[in-house]
Amino acid sequence: MDADGVIMRDTGEVEQMLARGVPTVVVCHRHAEMDGVISVVTDGEVIGRLAAEHLLACGVRHFAFCGYKDCTWSESRWESFQKTVRKAGFEAVVFRVQAEVTGAPWRDQRPAIARWLRTLPRPVGLMACNDDLGHEVVAACKLVGLSVPDDVAVIGADNDEVVCGLSDPPLSSVHINFEQAGYEAAEVLDQLMRQGHGETGRILVRASHVVPRRSTDILAVDDPALAKGLRFIRDHAREPLVVDDVARAAGISRRALEKRFRRWLGRSILHEIRRVRADQIARMLVETDLPVSEIAQRLGFEDVQHVARYFRAAKQMSPLAWRKLYGRRPS
C-alpha cells in the first residue's frame, strides 16, 4: 500500500506497516493497547459505570451483561459494570457470544441469547457491550416473549443513532465521543508524518452520558409513592424543582418520601433532583452548540453563574470544560 500514514484497526497488517516505517495510529479492537504505536482505546471503566448507574436509577434489583468472547474492550466494560453494581449491593451475571460470526448471520446466535435471557430473574437491567449486541438482545427477547423494558431493561453503548433507532423499542445507550477521538487521531498522525519517527501512547475515547430511550423506560419500584416521585423528577427535569414539588406529586409527606428515597435508592430526594438535572445540562452541552446562557434559560436557572455552580457541584467540572472534553468539534 502506497501511503504516507495510516489509521487502522489492530489487524495482522499493523506489523507490516510498522516494519515499512509507515506512521501508524491503531484503533484497538482485539487488544487492550499495542506496544510501539499510538493506540486508540475506549474508556471501558466509565462506559460500564454509566450504564450501571442508569439501570440502578431505574430501580431494578437484578443485573446482567451480554458481551463478546475474547474481546478486551467488552471485558473492560463488563468489569466496570460488575464493580458498580456490586458496590451498590447487588450482583450481575454475564453471557458472552462470538464477536465475529464467520459465514453465519447474527440471527444464528439469537436462540442462545434467548435461552440465557429466559433463565434471568425479572425485571432485570441488562447492559450489552455495544449497540449492535444490544439490538440483538432486544430481538432475542421477542423470541421468548419477554417485554422490553418491563421484563428486560436494555442499554447499549456507542449511541449509534441508526442502530438504536432500528431497535424496537429504541435502545438506550452510553454516548461515546468517537468524533473527538477521530480528530485527535488525525492530529497525532499528522504529527507523526511531519516528525518522521514513531511515538507510543494512547488516545482515550471518552464517554460522557447516557442517552435514554424506551428500552430502559421503566421504574421497577414496588412502592407506588416512590415511583410517582421518581417519575415526576424524570418528567420535569427541564424545570426548576424543589423537594416539596416531588412530595406533592407522590402524594405523601416530604419526610415519609425522604425515608423511602434513602432506603430504596441510597440517596436523598434533592440528590436525585440534582443528578437528573445535571445530566440534562451535560446532554445539552454535548449534543447542542447552544451557549451556556441559553442552556441556563431553557432549564430555568437564574443565570450562567447559577448553572455553572450547579453543574460543577454535580460533575466536578465547569460546563465549558465539560463541553471541551466531551463535546463536538466546531466545524
For residue 154, give the nearest of 133, 117, 128 by alpha carbon. 128
pLDDT of residue 154: 98
Edge-to-edge strand ranges of the sheet holding 201-205: 6-9, 24-27, 38-42, 201-205
Are 228 and 289 part of one and the same domain?
A: yes
Q: Is residue 160 part of a domain?
A: yes
Three-state DSSP state, 155: strand
User: With bands split at pLDDT 50, 70 and 90, how would you rate the model's confidence at 331?
Assistant: very low
Are 312 and 253 part of one and the same domain?
A: yes
Are 308 and 298 part of one and the same domain?
A: yes
Handedness of CA 299, 265, 156, 114 (dihedral sign): negative
State what percent of residues in the chain have pLDDT above 70.
Answer: 92
User: Is pLDDT above 70 for 198?
Assistant: no
pLDDT of residue 102: 45
Range of the domain at 199: 6-42+177-208
The lowest-confidence range among 5-14, 181-190, 200-209 is: 5-14
Per-position b or e across 174-189, b if 16+ CB within 10 A of its CB: bbbbbebbbebbeebb
Are 78 and 169 part of one and the same domain?
A: yes
pLDDT of residue 220: 82
Are 294 and 228 part of one and the same domain?
A: yes
Tally of domains within the chain: 3
Are 51 and 162 part of one and the same domain?
A: yes
Q: What is the pLDDT of residues 311-328, one digit of tens each?
A: 999 999 999 999 988 887
pLDDT of residue 206: 92
User: With bands split at pLDDT 50, 70 and 90, how would you rate the model's confidence at 106?
Assistant: low
Are 244 and 272 part of one and the same domain?
A: yes
Are 52 and 165 part of one and the same domain?
A: yes
Are 34 and 72 part of one and the same domain?
A: no
Q: Which helix (H) or strand (E) holds 106?
A: none
Cell of 126: 441488562
Average pLDDT, the chain: 89
Q: Is residue 156 part of a domain?
A: yes
User: With bands split at pLDDT 50, 70 and 90, how would you rate the model's confidence at 103?
Assistant: very low
Q: Is residue 135 part of a domain?
A: yes
The single-letter code of the amino acid at 181 is: A
Length of the chain: 331
pLDDT of residue 180: 86
User: With bands split at pLDDT 50, 70 and 90, how would you rate the model's confidence at 12?
Assistant: low
For residues 276 and 239, the answer to whether their CB atoms sit within 8 Å is no
Q: What is the pLDDT of residues 116-147, one digit of tens each?
A: 999 999 999 999 999 999 999 999 999 999 99
Dist CA 159 CA 167 (whole Å)? 12
The pTM of the full predicted model, rounded to 2 decimals, is 0.86
Rounded to an integer, the average pLDDT of 261-288 is 91
Q: Is residue 331 part of a domain?
A: no
Are 20 and 50 part of one and the same domain?
A: no
| Strand partners of residue 124 | 152
| Strand partners of residue 96 | 67
Q: Is residue 1 part of a domain?
A: no
For residue 131, give the nearest of 218, 210, 194 by alpha carbon. 210
User: Is pLDDT above 80 for 30?
Assistant: no
Are 115 and 55 part of one and the same domain?
A: yes
Are 76 and 31 part of one and the same domain?
A: no
For residues 293 and 301, the answer to whether their CB atoms sit within 8 Å is no
Rounded to an integer, the average pLDDT of 274-299 is 93
Rounded to an integer, the average pLDDT of 74-80 is 96
User: Is pLDDT above 80 for 56?
Assistant: yes
pLDDT of residue 165: 95
pLDDT of residue 188: 86
Q: What is the pLDDT of residues 215-256, one digit of tens each?
A: 999 888 888 999 999 999 999 999 999 999 999 999 999 999
Q: Is residue 67 part of a domain?
A: yes
Three-state DSSP state, 156: strand
pLDDT of residue 318: 95
Q: Is residue 123 part of a domain?
A: yes
Cell of 247: 412530595
The enclosing domain of 152 has a CATH number of 3.40.50.2300
E strands along 98-151, which residues? 124-128
The enclosing domain of 295 has a CATH number of 1.10.10.60
User: With bands split at pLDDT 50, 70 and 90, how would you rate the model's confidence at 107?
Assistant: low
User: Is pLDDT above 70 for 261?
Assistant: yes
Cell of 117: 435471557
Dist CA 207 CA 221 (whole Å)? 28
Would you tell me how many other CB atoms lie within 10 Å of the CB of residue 148?
23
